[in-house]
Every structure is written in structure tokens, then in C-alpha cells.
Structure 1
Amino acid sequence: MLRNSNLAINAAVLGTLQHELRKAYTGGATKYLELAGAVAAIFHWGGVYTNKNNKGNKPWLLHNHVGLHAILNTFVIEHSRGDDSTTIANLRFNSGMTKVYALLLEDFIIYDSRAAAALAWLVRRWWIDELRQTVNSLPSSLRFGCLPGNGKMAPFRNPDRSVFTTLRSNPAAHYLWNVRANWLLGAALAKAERPVNFPDLRSIEAALFQMGRKVS
């Protein structure tokens, strides 16, 4: 994300990235260079265009850029099944790819460590403070998978490690919780009384980014 920028600026940047990504994707497999460029730009925007001992998003994109359209198309078809599980054997799903998928698809949020932490915190607060239930009785369907943060914020991306599992290199579980977050937030937005302060999922996503920066 752009540092020291407001929601409007980031929304404009995301709009441009989304336009370029979708244009390249709809252009088909022959537009793989344009598609790879758009994905690289998204990684840059998200601060995840990294090497990480030749296992990060940068070397992965370099190795897979020619077949990138097929990779994304397989994911689009998979997601159209409407299930929260995946049948893709080598699904790539991490904090970088969730940004790509979110801009490629409709009603798909970016599920990174901040969004996951915010959702887990909100669920925990609702269950304990509003419903007066014990935390251990929280249903498994609401035990959102959290993600490891980076740097000094790493200890603050899970409100309760005894309840919310921290996912590490688990693409299928990351996908599952991303889809469930899409469902939950989409249903909440549809149910909310009008007018609402959040006109769409992208604005809710931005709020989760802010809320989830530091939870405890």
C-alpha cells in the first residue's frame, strides 16, 4: 500500500491496477507479458514483491509469467464453483496472491494478516462481550485463520492464539478463510440498514486493514 496516503488515493491506485490486470487477463494467454506486469505492479503496491531465498513472489512470477494466464484462469474457474475448499493441487495463495485475486474477481477481499486479525478480534469481541459466551465455545466456522505479520507488528496479528490458528504456508486454509470472509462481509453489507458508511467491500476491507494493524 502507498505509505502516508489516504483512502481516496489508494482507491484510485487500486482502480488503475485492477483495470490493467483485467484488461491483460481478458486479452488471453498471448498477453502474458502485460499480465505479468500488472501482477508485478500489484505485488509492488502491496510491498510483497520479494525474493525470500528464491521462494518469494518475485522469483515465482519470473518462473511462471509465461503460463500466468492459465494459472489465474484455473483459479477463476475454481472459485466459480462457489465452494470454500479448493481442488487445485498446487494452488499459490499467500499475502501477495490474495491481492491479485481480489482485484481480478468481484466481491473478493484482500485477506492478509491485518484483515484476518481484525475479523478475529471482531468475532471474539462479539462472542464474549455481546453474547456473553466463553471463548472456547466459539464455533469452528468463526475461528478465522490468522496470518503471521512481519517485523515488529508480528506479535499483534492474532487476538487469541488459543482460539485462532496462525496459518503458515497453507494455501488451502488461506483460501478457505478468504472465501468465508467474503461471504460473511458480503452478507453483512447486504443486511445493513441504508445508508451505510461503507458502500462496498473494498471500503470495508480498508477499515479492516486499519483495525487489524495492531490487535491484542
Structure 2
Amino acid sequence: MKTKQAYATLPHVTGFIDWLATELNSKTLFNHQYVDRRSGNKWSCDSLFGAYQSYSWNFPGNARLAYNPGSCSASNAKALDALRQDLIAAGSNDALVLQAATDVMAWGGVTSRNVEWLKVNKTGLGRMIQEVKTALIQKDPDAPVLRSKSLRFNSGMTKIYSLICPEFLIYDSRVAAALGLLVVQYCKAKELIQVPDALCFPWAAAKESENAVAPKRRNPSTGTLQFKRLRSGSHHAQWNIRASWVLSQVIAHEAATHSPFHQIDAPANALRGLEQSLFMVGYDLGHAGLLSND
């Protein structure tokens, strides 16, 4: 696979994987807290697995796929499994793929514009998603379909591909923020003054009012450790491939053998659990917790 052959050899990639796998269960490195803007409640964790245990995402029920509304990791796992099976069963049938993809967007709370785009591009939708799926599984960011200017790859589409591509995680603004934060911790541990290019996972802003009283911080940059902004399309796809490969290698690492992430019950798995822990941490990087020594 091109990602494994080329990306893995770039400076600090294996170093970061080794470091994170070794520190995956740390009870000191990953303390974090913030205030949930909707509920006003304080959220905190003392470890990455602790963040997973506190995972919460409110999603609507789906009568067609026979799952109820929920919010915890177990209920989300059941919903995602139903959505995954529906997407796979749809194959390349445009009408069925449109229905399945629309339901994924509803689960993820990203129907705005995404569903409109799916409907406008219904003809050929099934074939297009299959072509992108193949390129992602082959981990080939240079595949023509992933280099195309017409490629739609954003926080909505990453959810679809995470369900139909093995070991492919949802790379949205929250996961990107937390992953960047882990890179900051790695750079500090290794006394690096700049973020290595191969670990410069791009970030995206939270979707909120420009006049928000307490805006959420999704940019992990601090001091000389700076990250670039995420761009939709090919840029997003490339970094989604990289992030998925890196974190799958962390989970598979010998040093992570006894991590509680491996004890997560099916239909979820260790990689999905790690993704969900990052999702929780990345809600707001704030100015405390992991960044308290800035």
C-alpha cells in the first residue's frame, strides 16, 4: 500500500506510533476537561480510555433500520453497525445508496448541504462511492478519484467511508483537534520545536456562530508548534488515510496489547473506541488540561 510504503518512512511517523502505543494507557498525559456548551456540564477524563468511557453522541432513531435514539457508545455501536450493513447491502444501486447515505448523515447530524449534494448527484452515486472506497482501502492518495477536483470529502462523507472501509476512522474537526493535541504532547516529549510535516494533522474550526460567547477551540497549535487548516476534498482524504493508518498501527502495536481498548465489545472495536475517545477530547481544547503548560 502506498501509505505504508511511503508515509511510514517519513521522519517521526514510526516514532509517534511507538510513543503513543507506549503511552496509550497513561493516567498523567491525557488529563483534560471542558464545559459542554449545550448542557453547561463539565466534562473531564484522566486517560484516553476514560474519554471513551464518557463518550456521548445524541443521535435520532431510525425506524427503517430498527434502531432507537441513543447517546452512549453501546447504542451508537448498534446504530453504526446497522448503517454499515445498509450501506454494504446498497452496493452500487444509486437509489439505495442515496437512502443509506442520507441516514448516515442524519446519525452524524450533518444533513445540511450534504443530503442536498447527495440528491443532486444521485446518478452515479453508487459507483462513485465504490471507486472512492477502493482507493481508500488501497491507501492510495494519488488515485485519480481522490485527486479529482470534483471529489466531495468532508466531515459528512468521512462518516460514510468509515463504515465501509476497514480500519478507516471518522476524521472530523473534533478527532483532528485531539489528534493534533497528541502530536503536541509527542513534540514536547521529544523536545521538538516544530511539528514534523508527516504529523501535521490539519484542523478544522467548530461549526458555531462567529459571535459565540465562548467559542470552542479546535486548533491544537501552540507556540512554535503550528498546524495547518484542513481543506475539503483531496486534502481531507489524504489526511484521513494517514490518520487512520497511524492510529490502526498504534492499536496493533505490541506495546498496546493490554490496552483496555482491546476489550471493547463488538460491533465496536478498538480503533473505533480510540476514535471516539479523540472525538470527546477534541470537543474543546480550551486552555487547560493537556495544554496547561503552554
TM range (shorter): 0.7 to 0.9
Aligned residue in 2 for 1:69: 126
- Aligned-residue CA RMSD in angstroms? 1.9
Q: Does 1:2 align with 2:53?
A: no
1:215 pairs with 285, 289, 293, which one?
285
In structure 1, distance between residues paired with 2:166 and 2:138:
14
Q: Does 1:179 align with 2:241?
A: yes
In structure 1, distance between residues paired with 2:219 and 2:104:
25
Q: Is the 8 A contact 1:118 1:208 kept in 2?
A: yes
Provide, for residues 40-78 of structure 1, a one-character-per-residue CA deviation record: whole Å limited to 9, x for no partner: 00000111100xxxxx21211111123211111110232
Provide, for residues 139-158 of structure 1, a one-character-per-residue CA deviation record: whole Å limited to 9, x for no partner: 10011011221115864111
In structure 1, distance between residues paired with 2:102 and 2:139:
28
User: Percent identity over the alignment?
Assistant: 33
Shift of 1:85: 3.8
Aligned to 1:185, the other structure's residue is in SS state helix
Aligned residue in 1 for 2:191: 132
1:157 pairs with 214, 218, 238, which one?
218
Count of residues paired in the alignment: 203
Shift of 1:179: 0.5
Of structures 1 and 2, the larger Rg is shown by 2
In structure 1, distance between residues paired with 2:139 and 2:156:
22
In structure 2, distance between residues paired with 1:68 and 1:114:
27
In structure 1, distance between residues paired with 2:215 and 2:239:
19
More helix by share: 1
Aligned residue in 2 for 1:22: 88
Aligned residue in 2 for 1:205: 275
Gaps of 5+ in 1: 51-55
Gaps of 5+ in 2: 1-56, 60-69, 263-269, 287-294
2:79 pairs with 7, 13, 33, which one?
13
TM-score, normalised by the number of residues in structure 2: 0.65
Aligned to 2:250, the other structure's residue is in SS state helix
TM-score, normalised by the number of residues in structure 1: 0.87
Q: Is the 8 A contact 1:120 1:159 kept in 2?
A: yes
